[in-house]
Structure 1
């Protein structure tokens, strides 16, 4: 195969219309093991393929890109940038986006190595073109440019090159192109800030983060919503949260939540504010966040009770997020009747809402009710039991009725609620006192499709994981559940046909 590649490369370099030979080369390259390609292409031969990108023939460009993508991945990155520097830079300015992405991905490989980083930093015009690519119309090009700059910033030399040189001005110039491009740069800055406190310090000293934080209170509500999303991402790291706290951002966002009541456009950004505190509560402490910023939980409750369907999904997701932790359950329980009203609203949505809201409600209810054996205390078991009873006058029947709906997602969500309570003694006694429930659990004809079968299997597994199941369900039912588990989720009983002599 190496000889065939060498012959084709020779023919391509001499041909005026090399498309046919390029097609054959693509086939040969794709069929050659990567280990065998390394020695097949010299730097001059690579330059020939790169030069053939300079055409208006889209197929020729496509074939060249396919060949280069395959070959370049086996070449040493430093060797590549030393021998094909101008070709890579030309690729960054090529009119075809696939060529730009190819060049960016290869520069990303180069700057992932210390020697390659130094080589690229000594040629800042390459990085200037990478930065300009953030402003590309095609998002795939922009994403690859951001990924390349993130790889560059993995070293101190790369950080210094990006933030302590003329490249910083290039980055700020790109930001000025449009709102969309500005937020692509913010995306880069936030991703980089998450890497380490040192990276955050570089971004903060360059005033990118303070500029982002100023946009939280801008006049454009859509820009404000996007800024909140970015700040929420920044809070994913502990050092990011510490920085935001030092800047007073938690208090600022809490005040924005309070002021949202008097803003007719708040529905555009209020969900983002709630998401911010919801994530903060899970990463730090539900109790601390809810006590420090009471406006957060009050707003979540109001959004859940609000008939505006645009606010409900975030409220349901946040309640599920909080209720999925023991501390969060205790925080919600302390609100007393206020949360009971929200729970009734969730139950109503689960029964009568639009399908997406029904699914979200059921998922949130599942999180509220889940209580693994190792977390169970008498107080928490009483809490989940009272919440389950608040769903309906007959909650077992309500959930079972939802499971019979002709929508697989609803069927599975209902099963997951049963799974969430399956290892809690009060729930097991309720299951046993519900006529036909145990028979329904082991009935394989209920629920079609892989997901439904998997959900039923998880329910059986959850029941058997509890030490109280054998006593409450009885030996016979326990054996049926154990047999079900041993047979697996997709078991089908064999039906034998017996023919009697003389029968019709």
Structure 2
């Protein structure tokens, strides 16, 4: 096969219209595993294929890209850095986006390799072209360029090359292209900053981060909303949160939430502000965040009761996030009547809201009711039980009714609530006392989709894993559940076909 690839390459180099031969070469390459290809192509010159990229014929270009993608994958990043650097650099300025993506992908492999990256760091021209790809029309090209450059932040030499030389000016020049490109550079800076406190320092010292933070209070509402998303990503790392706190950003965002009531355009950026604190609460401490920034918690409750579906959805997601932790559950419980009103609203939405809000409400309820076995203290069990009964006078009937509706996402959402209470003794008592419920659990005729079967299997697994299930449900039900678990989520019982025709 190696010989035929060699002959195809030679044939292609001497043909004016090589489409058919390129197709044959592609087929030949696809028939060989990449691992086997590595040995047979490492020394082969690829100039002929690279040269054929210089065409207006889209079919020829795409065939060359497919061929090069297959061959270059087989070559080591060091080999590429030493032998294909010039060709790949040429690919970065090619008018076809698939060629650019091919080049960027291979450069990404090189910057990710400790030996190959040293070759790339010496060549500022190739990195300059990668930076300019961020301003490209196609978002896929820009994303690949951002991905490749962010890998450089994993080493000090990479950071020095990007931020302590002529490439810094290139990044700032590219940034000035447009609002869209400016945010692509911010995305790159956030990616780099997330790696370590050192990499964050480089981005901050180069003024990129302070410029991003300044966008939070800019006049353009849409830009402000995008900036909040970026800052939320920056807060995902501990060093990022420490930096934001030092810059007074938490207080600034809290004040923006307070001032949202008097801003007619606040609905465009308010969800982002709430998501910021919701993420912050989960990563740090729900109690600390809610006590330090009460405007956040008050706004979440207010949004849950708001008629605007966009506000309700974010509030439901945030409440679910907060309530997924023990500390968050305790914070919500302390609010008393406020949270009771929100639970009633969740019940209303779960039963009669728009489908998307019903799904998000069911998800939030399941998160609020979930307790891991090690979290099941007497107080917390009493808390989750009381919350279920605050939702409805007949909560099991309510959830069962939702689970039987012909919408797979609602069916699965209801099953997740059952799974949440399945490991808690009071939940098991409710299940066994609800007529027909145990039969419903092991009935494989309900829920035909893969997602529904997986959700049902998870519920059965939660019950079987509970140490109290045998005593509360009884050995007969427990054995049926164990059988269901052993058979797997997609088990179909074999039904013998009975034929009367010709029977003896």
Q: Work out whether the TM-score is over 0.5.
A: yes
Contact 1:362 1:413 (C-alpha < 8 Å) held by counterparts:
yes
Go from structure 1 to structure 2 and tell me whether the alpha carbon gap of 1:35 and 1:380 turns closer, same or farther (over 3 Å shift). Answer: closer
Separation in 2, partners of 1:352, 1:80: 59
The corresponding residue for 1:259 is 259
Contact 1:316 1:361 (C-alpha < 8 Å) held by counterparts:
yes
The corresponding residue for 2:362 is 362
1:64-463 paired onto structure 2 within 5 Å:
64-463=64-463
Separation in 2, partners of 1:488, 1:85: 51
Partner SS for 1:236 = coil
Go from structure 1 to structure 2 and tell me whether the alpha carbon gap of 1:467 and 1:115 turns closer, same or farther (over 3 Å shift). Answer: closer
Contact 2:153 2:195 (C-alpha < 8 Å) held by counterparts:
no
Cα shift at 1:44: 7.9
Separation in 1, partners of 2:475, 2:57: 75
Separation in 1, partners of 2:72, 2:498: 66
Go from structure 1 to structure 2 and tell me whether the alpha carbon gap of 1:55 and 1:358 turns closer, same or farther (over 3 Å shift). Answer: same
Cα shift at 1:395: 1.1
Separation in 2, partners of 1:24, 1:495: 49
Deviates more, 1:25-34 or 1:1-10: 25-34
Deviates more, 1:67-76 or 1:357-366: 67-76
Contact 1:47 1:84 (C-alpha < 8 Å) held by counterparts:
no
Partner SS for 2:45 = helix
**Count of matched residue pairs:** 504
Go from structure 1 to structure 2 and tell me whether the alpha carbon gap of 1:29 and 1:260 turns closer, same or farther (over 3 Å shift). Answer: same
Separation in 2, partners of 1:270, 1:256: 8
Separation in 2, partners of 1:39, 1:477: 59
Separation in 2, partners of 1:109, 1:421: 47
Separation in 2, partners of 1:60, 1:330: 64
Partner SS for 1:398 = helix
Separation in 1, partners of 2:252, 2:218: 13
Go from structure 1 to structure 2 and tell me whether the alpha carbon gap of 1:101 and 1:476 turns closer, same or farther (over 3 Å shift). Answer: closer
Q: Give CA deviations for 1:2-36 in whole Å, capped at 9, x if unaligned.
A: 22122222222222333332222222222234345
Separation in 1, partners of 2:166, 2:224: 30
Contact 1:43 1:84 (C-alpha < 8 Å) held by counterparts:
no
Separation in 2, partners of 1:414, 1:62: 47
Q: Give CA deviations for 1:216-266 in whole Å, capped at 9, x if unaligned.
A: 011111111100000000111111111111111111111111111111111
Q: Give CA deviations for 1:180-236 in whole Å, capped at 9, x if unaligned.
A: 100000110000100111111110110100000000011111111100000000111
Separation in 1, partners of 2:497, 2:347: 47
Separation in 2, partners of 1:85, 1:423: 58
Contact 1:43 1:83 (C-alpha < 8 Å) held by counterparts:
no
Separation in 2, partners of 1:123, 1:57: 31
* Alignment gaps of 5+ in structure 1: none
Go from structure 1 to structure 2 and tell me whether the alpha carbon gap of 1:117 and 1:350 turns closer, same or farther (over 3 Å shift). Answer: same
Q: Give CA deviations for 1:116-142 in whole Å, capped at 9, x if unaligned.
A: 333333332221111110000011111
State the TM-score, normalizing by the size of structure 2.
Answer: 0.95
Contact 2:323 2:368 (C-alpha < 8 Å) held by counterparts:
yes
Cα shift at 1:432: 2.7
Go from structure 1 to structure 2 and tell me whether the alpha carbon gap of 1:389 and 1:38 turns closer, same or farther (over 3 Å shift). Answer: closer
Go from structure 1 to structure 2 and tell me whether the alpha carbon gap of 1:433 and 1:108 turns closer, same or farther (over 3 Å shift). Answer: closer
Contact 1:9 1:45 (C-alpha < 8 Å) held by counterparts:
no
Separation in 2, partners of 1:494, 1:31: 40
Partner SS for 1:161 = helix
State the TM-score, normalizing by the size of structure 1.
Answer: 0.95
Cα shift at 1:115: 4.1
Deviates more, 1:300-309 or 1:438-447: 438-447
Contact 1:92 1:130 (C-alpha < 8 Å) held by counterparts:
yes
Contact 1:194 1:200 (C-alpha < 8 Å) held by counterparts:
yes
